[in-house]
Amino acid sequence: MDLNYLLQVLLRKKWMIFFFTTVALVAGFAFTFFLPKKYVSLAQYSTGFTMEQKVKISEEATFNIYEIDMRFANVIETFRSPKVMAMLSYSLLLHDIDNVKPFRALTEDKKNSPEYTAVNIEKAKQILKSKIFDMNLLNPYDPEEKKVFDLLTLYAYRGEDLYTGLRFERVDRSDFINIFFSSENPELSAYVVNTIGEQFIRFFNNLYGTRDLESAQKLDSLIQTQKLVVDSLNGKLKDFRERIGTPNINDRASGAMVMVQDLTVNIQAEQKTLNQYKADLRTVEAQLSTLNARAGGSGSPSNNNQSIRLLQNENGDLEVKKIGKTEKEIKDIDKQIQANLERIETLKRNTVNPGVRDRQAERTAIQIDDLEAKRISLENSIRASNDLIKDYERQRGGYERLTSSGGGDEVVLKAKEAELNLATDEYEMLRKRMHASLGLDVNPINNFKPTILGIPAYKPEPSKKVILMGLCGFLGFFFSTFAVLGVEIIDSSYKTPSIFRRNSKLPQLGVLNKVDLHGGNINEFIQESVSNKEGRVGNIYIENLRKIRYEIDKKNAQSILITSSRAKEGKTFVTQSLASILALAGKKVLMIDANLSNNELTQIYDAKPNLDQIDLSKIATNDRLWTYIQPTTIKGVSIVGTRSADATPLELLPQNSLLKNLNSLKDQYDYILIEASALNYYADSKEISLYVDGIVNVVSAKSSAALEDKESYQFLSDQKGKYLGAVLNQVDTLNMSL
């Protein structure tokens, strides 16, 4: 396909392309004009993933970028999770049906719909509050919950409806996540970005909070166990010292006195610490009493925490019982401790977020939980201080009774001291980790904090009308241009002389443009075109015929076969045109209709179909021959007609037929034009080609190069002495020069 031709096609179709581009621009304008305004709100949350703040049993800590990126991806996917989106949907619906100023108001048609009239609003409120509190999804198979689900659909608050306006993104290589929501209501957008963060935190607290608390409890359990080991080794060392005494009585007495003094100081210091613990405990209990009263009598969290405290104390006692037990007994105790831990998980899960009625209630519940944890810690500390004071008093009594001496036991004493020092160092290391974690939240998700709260947008987002209209116009231009070029590329017809020459590889005798006869015949058209110099289209056709006439004159061929590879290519039309243009030059022309498959030329001139009746061997004189030749309305042009027959010229015509004796007519006629059947389907043209001086094939510009034409083109190419060239017919006037 020629690039020049495609450009010409685009220029010809420019008004069509312009029309569709204009339509696209108008459509874009209408679309943006009626596009609803959108308000976008932003909330930003800090995740804490890039800060080390978890309670760990081991000290190894690495800053893994890949792990942090994966956590951000997990958080964003959790935001999109069905449960978080469902809690957001339920909160929005509860707000709209329970508020005098809803975010979205239903139309009258929706209010009159069966889905709305079937809903009991008060019942729907109860269901929504229950689902939000328990973080459960609506069951579409429950009749009442199905009604609430249909109501969500009416308000367009389903997860898939909200998700189209939500967008989550991590602030580049930072600790923050931005949440955007776009809607028709600025207050709705602000509510969504704030509420989805709250529901996300609730979801993660409910899912992972207990597991993290268990890690802290395990660390506390290890500390308590290690403390028991240190106390046991310390007791054994003191007992051994009491038993061996010192080799020198004076030294023993002096050493015992020093120990008594030190232990007395320790008892006094520990008693002071014990008193401080008790004072702190009284303060915490007073605060708990006030907060429980403010909570409106909701005793569920307090009772759960009391049960948790009892179970933790029981686990501490069980750890003590493991000392001196057999391996089987220790396994049994561990099973009981594990059962208590599972019970603690259940109780703590039930105490997380005890209420969602309002934020004040949630904060009160969290404060109660924090104070309960402090009370448990103070009670454990008081118990440990009492035990330590009793141990100091027991040691002081032993040193006061110290009397015995020792000698070679010094090696054993040093070994016991080394063992005690090792256990003490491990105990201190665990205590340091515990103290370091007291200022942190054991649940790492609680470090997910809002840094920017969403506020209603002051003005809507830019509509980008110019950009959208420009895009629509560009698409209209692109697709219309693509359609025009696509049609031309798909169209494999010859269309232009250059395409015909390239595809057929045949010499070209001339080109005839497409003309409209306006109901007349070609002879009248030619006569009018010659006499009327203003008809440009007619003049072009006449000039092209004159060029073909010149080429024929130059070839010195009197008898010419006019054929085509296919039917309906315009052979009859071209034959008449050539006869007329030759007659204009004063030439005598005889047209012989030898197209036995379609004798249209005979029908046009109403000629007698007597070609098969002419037998020159039976005609005595030329005068009798003229009885078979009929003059036409064109001066100087005659015709011999034929009948339609299912036979070839060799089969139908006599032995001495007119076609075999064309030379006998050359003295009376300057040119003999013979029209025959199409080469692709019939052998007529090949048989007649033996008796003519030249061959012209007519090709329509609407035809295309097909495989079936190759044999016919090859036959014409082989007629080197006779083949005059092809006449490309019905070419669009604008394609004549291409």
571-629 confidence digits (pLDDT tens): 888 888 888 888 888 888 888 888 888 888 888 888 888 887 887 777 655 556 777 78
> What does the block give as tokens for 505?
């590889």
Q: How far apart are the first and last CA of the chain?
A: 11
Helix (H) or strand (E) holding 415: helix 410-437
Containing H/E element for 726? strand 723-731
Q: Domain-by-domain residue ranges, the chain?
A: 1-32+463-491, 33-52+62-199, 209-444, 493-735
CB neighbours of 709 closer than 8 A, spacing ≥ 6?
504, 565, 566, 680
Q: Tell which wins on pLDDT, 444 or 241.
A: 241
Q: Give the Cα separation of 410 and 474 in Å (integer).
A: 99
Rounded mean pLDDT of 74-90? 84
Report the DSSP pairing between strands 589-593 and 637-640. parallel
**CATH 3.40.50.300 corresponds to the domain 493-735:** yes
Helix axes 3-12, 465-490, angle to 10 degrees: 120
The helix-helix angle for 300-321 and 186-244 (nearest 10°) equals 30
Q: What is the C-alpha to C-alpha distance for residues 140 and 132, in angstroms, rounded to an integer?
A: 16
What are 458-505's pLDDT values in tens digits?
777 666 667 777 777 777 777 777 777 676 666 666 777 777 777 777
HEC-encoded secondary structure of 338-379: HHHHHHHHHHHHHHCCCCCCCHHHHHHHHHHHHHHHHHHHHH
Residue 328, pLDDT above cutoff 70: yes
Mean pLDDT of the chain: 75
Q: How many angstroms separate the CA atoms of 547 and 509, rounded?
A: 9
Mean pLDDT of the region 285-291:
78
pLDDT score, position 506:
80
Query: 381-395 pLDDT, tens per residue?
Result: 787 778 778 877 887
Give the pLDDT mean for 349-356. Answer: 48
Per-residue pLDDT, 736:
65
Q: Tell me which H or E stretch contains 315.
A: helix 300-321
pLDDT at 648 > cutoff 60: yes
Residue 55 — pLDDT band, cuts 50, 70, 90? very low
Q: What is the pTM of this model?
A: 0.46
> How far is residue 320's CA from residue 134's CA, in Å, rounded to a whole number?
38
pLDDT of 59 reads 46
pLDDT > 70 in the chain, percent: 73
The set of residues, in sequence order, having a beta carbon less than 8 Å from that of 452 and lying 6+ positions away, is 42, 43, 44
Torsion region of 19: left, alpha or beta (phi above 0 gives left; psi -120 to 50 gives alpha): alpha
Place of tokens 């052979």: 571
pLDDT tens for 96-151 read: 888 888 888 888 888 888 888 888 888 888 888 888 887 888 888 888 888 888 88
Query: Which residues does 141 contact at the CB level (< 8 Å), separation at least 6?
Result: none
